[in-house]
Amino acid sequence: MNIIGKRFSPDEFWGYAAQTIGEASWKGSFVVLHNTGSPTLAQRPSGLTSEHITNLRLYYEDLGWHAGPHLFIDQNGIWVFSPLTAPGVHSPSWNHVSYGVEQLGDFDREAYTSGPGALVRANAISALAALHHAACIDSATLKLHRMDPKTTHRDCPGAHCADEFEQIMRDVHAAVVAREQV
Ligand SMILES: [Zn+2]
């Protein structure tokens, strides 16, 4: 499996996404938001490491997948996992038309608007804004994994994240507008 395996700050990711997606022949039409469930934030108090990312690659390879989600968001930034230039594997109905964004945490049980969950949320907003801007996506098209009629992950991305769905779309839109005015 070909992965990028590199962590970016939100500022770095804005430039990376613009350049990478700008040159890509495939583009996603919308973003699907996930949570890892396991590992939890409590299990990764310092976020993900390169070794964790390698282990995720091995996990997906064992499943026989050719790719995984495009991004993993943690407390520290934005990990690019599968290349943004091709479809990933993360949501059965939507793999071929969407970007998959995983957020570290179990947001059925862990907070999303305070503590480390709030750091993940903020980095996710930045990552989503960069993707929406680079691929010319309207923030109103954002989807949660559990909205996929074919998925068995009926809880993803967790209740505390799902409760924020409308606000996330507003925040992504505001973040895109703020960037475009710079
Ligand atoms: Zn999911």
* Residue numbers of the domain that contains 128: 6-180
Q: How many residues does the chain have?
A: 182
Instruction: Answer yes or no: is 72 within a domain.
Output: yes
Q: Is residue 1 part of a domain?
A: no
Tens digit of each residue's pLDDT (9 = 90 or more) over 64-75: 999 999 999 999
The alpha carbon of 91 and the centre of ligand 1 are apart by a number of angstroms equal to: 7
Question: How far is the centre of ligand 1, averaged over its atoms, from the C-alpha of 152 (Å)?
Answer: 9
Number of structural domains found in the chain:
1
Give the domain CATH number at 105: 3.40.80.10
- Calculate how far, in angstroms, residue 148's C-alpha sits from the geometric centre of ligand 1: 9
* pLDDT at 9 exceeding the cut of 90: yes
Residue 57 lies in a domain: yes
Q: How far is the CA of 118 from the centre of ligand 1 (A)?
A: 19
Q: Is residue 61 part of a domain?
A: yes
Q: What is the mean pLDDT of the chain?
A: 97
Dig out the tokens for 48 from the structure: 């993900």
- Residue range 160-182: mean pLDDT, rounded: 94
pLDDT at 182: 67
